[in-house]
Amino acid sequence: MEKSNFIDYIRIFCRSGHGGGGSRHFMRTKFDAMAGPDGGDGGRGAHIILRGSSQLWTLLHLRYYKNVLAEDGQHGDKNNSTGRNGKDIIIEVPLGTIGKDEETGLKEIEILEDGQEIVWVKGGRGGLGNSNFKTSTNQAPEYAQPGEDGSEGWKILELKVLADVGLVGFPNAGKSTLLSVITAAKPKIADYAFTTLTPQLGIVDYRDGRSFCIADLPGIIEGAAEGKGLGHRFLRHIERNSILLFLIPADCADHKKEFEILLNELEEYNPEMLQKDFVIAISKSDMLDDELKAAIEKELPENVPHIFISSVTGYNLPALKDLLWKTLNAPKDI
Q: What is the pLDDT of residue 229?
A: 39
Q: What is the pLDDT of residue 32?
A: 64
User: Do 165-328 and 9-159 have the same topology in CATH?
Assistant: no
Band (pLDDT 50/70/90 cuts) for residue 2 is: very low
Tens of pLDDT, residue by residue over 228-270, are 434 445 566 666 678 889 999 988 888 988 898 888 878 877 7
Reply yes or no on whether the pLDDT at 9 is more than 50. yes
User: Which is more confident, 164 or 333?
Assistant: 164
Q: Residue 79 is which amino acid?
A: N
Q: What is the pLDDT of residue 27?
A: 83
Q: Note the residue count of the chain.
A: 334
Average pLDDT, whole number, for the chain?
Answer: 82
Topology (CATH level 3) of domain 165-328: Rossmann fold (3.40.50)
Q: What does the alpha-carbon distance between residue 269 and residue 252 come to, in Å, rounded to a whole number?
A: 24
Q: Which of 306, 316, 319, 298 lies closest to 278, judged by CA?
A: 306
Tens of pLDDT, residue by residue over 49-65, are 999 998 887 888 888 88
User: Which is more confident, 288 or 234?
Assistant: 288
Find out whether 215 and 201 touch, Cβ atoms under 8 Å.
Answer: yes
Distances (CA, A) of 236 to 58, 158, 233, 329: 14, 9, 6, 24
Reply yes or no on whether the pLDDT at 221 is more than 60. no
What is the residue extent of each domain of the chain?
Answer: 9-159, 165-328
Q: What does the alpha-carbon distance between residue 126 and residue 45 come to, in Å, rounded to a whole number?
A: 7
The CATH class given to the 9-159 domain equals: mainly beta
Reply yes or no on whether the pLDDT at 193 is more than 60. no
Reply yes or no on whether the pLDDT at 176 is more than 90. no
Q: Which of 162, 134, 148 lies closest to 25, judged by CA?
A: 134
3-state secondary structure (DSSP) of residue 165: strand
